[in-house]
Structure 1
């Protein structure tokens, strides 16, 4: 069973906040949520291409979301 939309938004927000603190980025609440959700999607996609699947539970998805959001912040910095 999936986490659901509300749980994904909550996990995304927490993950984005953690990633922005780790990466020393001042992104704001809405951007934290977006970074966490998009980061989770991007990293899950990359991992699935490598044959690695994160469990569909809150803790593995939180870890993947934080890593994905951190990756997005890093890429944004490289583009600038």
Structure 2
């Protein structure tokens, strides 16, 4: 079941990251989900490294880290994907 949650979280984080980046990102949905999953994992690690603690509620700061990392990944991968497709 945790694999399914990773895909769902990756989809949400990846789509939110695409909304943060200005312009159009010509990458497929599966790559958005994959980068969202990686962003979630790396964002969690960064948040822990910066001392962000788990709370009983929603960890907004942790989510900001996750979306930020995913946005950076999408911003770097998107132009490379576009060049590869032309």
For the structure 1 residues 12 and 73, does the alpha-carbon distance in structure 2 shift closer, same or farther, using more than 3 Å as the test?
same
Checking the alignment, whether the CA contact within 8 Å between 2:38 and 2:70 is kept in structure 1 is: yes
Q: TM-score, normalised by structure 1?
A: 0.67
Residues 24-66 of structure 1 show CA distances to partners (whole Å, capped at 9, x for unaligned) of 3222111111111000111111111111145588875655432
Q: CA RMSD in A?
A: 3.0
Aligned position for 1:37? 37
| Unmatched 5+ stretches in structure 1 | none
8 Å contact 1:12–1:62 — kept in the other structure? Answer: no
Normalization by structure 2: what TM-score?
0.63
Q: Aligned ranges for residues 54-65 of structure 1 at < 5 Å?
A: 54-55=54-55, 60=60, 63-65=64-66
Q: 1:21 aligns with which of 19, 22, 38?
A: 19
Q: Give the 3 Å change call, closer, same or farther, for CA 50–59 of structure 1 in structure 2.
A: closer
Number of aligned residue pairs: give it.
75
Matches of 1:55 and 1:72, distance apart in 2? 27
* Residue 69 of structure 1: aligned partner: 70
